[in-house]
Amino acid sequence: MPEPTLNYVSCPDASGSHRMAYWQWGDASAAHVVVCVHGLSRQGRDFDVLAQALVDRATHPIRVVSADVAGRGRSDWLKDPATYQIPTYVGDMLAMLGQLHRQAPIQTLDWVGTSMGGLIGMGISGTPQLPLPAPVRRLVLNDVGPAIQWEALQRIGTYLGNTGKFESVQQAADAMWAISTSFGPHTPGQWFALSQAMVKPLPEGGFTLHYDPSIAVPFRGLTEESAQQGQAALWQLYDNISAQTLVLRGAASDLLNSQTAAAMTQRGPRARLVAFDGVGHAPTLIARDQVDAVTGFLLD
């Protein structure tokens, strides 16, 4: 599989600025751009398989771009941990889109967001009068919606920020699998490929997870009450969305329940819903049926 190119964009913040990394596949001059954004503790190389499928199946030039959200992967860590929040990430994506548009004008803009990446996509698509180079045409929300189950947040909180130390990438992959079985069936080769970009070498030897442990700081400040209060704002964003929307759900997801997913088909953009049996939170978009669902939606 061809390697994507690694790029950076400077993003303003209260401390001055930070660099966000992003990966790019396909034709760097293409007017059709698909932005892919990962989940809370993940990074941009999660989309290798999907990105290559989009490039291979498109009948026109296409750019697929996947960010390492601030504090993850190759991106800078933020000086103020309290700013590891959706509004910061939306601002960073606007900076990236602006840079991409200057490099080659964007005429068609699509978005694929897994979990946190979907919330960022809702912010991009559902906030009026953002300075986007083009409106979001099609939006894929992968196992996330305006209402997030508190029990799932509690589960994620048990491991978020524990970046650990591992003797090998394989040992790290095994440790991540222990907390990621809800992603559904993966071959050992598939899981190892997903895991390689999830670790970085330590100066003293060995490996640790790729992200700033401080991304957990604002997460730990959440309460059940504050999470519920945030749902009204998220539903407002969702109801503002005009993009054609596809909601993917792991049929066993503990984060996006079936009631919320059903409500998303009845209000706002009236999303199309596809569920995957044997998968919880969240589909990794590697299995053939998952890739087909996304590529079919974006390229038809």
- Residue 93: phi and psi, rounded to 5, are -65, -35
pLDDT averages per 10-residue partition of the chain, 300 residues:
92 94 98 98 98 98 98 97 96 98 98 98 97 97 95 91 95 94 94 96 96 94 88 95 98 96 98 97 97 97
Give the chain's largest Cα–Cα span: 54
**pLDDT at residue number 229:** 87
Q: What is the pLDDT of residue 227?
A: 87
β-strand pairing of 32-37 with 16-26: unpaired
pLDDT number for residue 222: 87
For residue 123, what pLDDT is reported? 97
Closest CA relative to residue 233, chosen from 150, 121, 78, 122:
122
Domains assigned to the chain? 5-161+211-299 (3.40.50.1820)
CA dist., res. 184 & res. 174, Å (int):
15
Is 173 in a helix, a strand, or coil? helix
Q: Which residues contact 279 (CB under 8 A, 6 or more apart)?
A: 182, 183, 184, 250, 251, 252, 253
CA separation for the pair 198, 225 (Å, rounded): 32
What tokens appear for 108 in the block? 């068609």
Residue type, 140: V
Q: Are 61 and 26 in contact (CB under 8 A)?
A: yes
- Which helix (H) or strand (E) segment is 103 a member of? helix 86-103
What is the DSSP secondary-structure string of 237-286?
HHHH--SEEEEEEETT-SSS-HHHHHHHTTSTT--EEEEETT--S---S-
Q: What is the dihedral of CA 149, 272, 24, 129, to 10 degrees?
A: -80
Q: Minimal CA–CA distance to 112: which of 56, 60, 49, 161?
A: 49
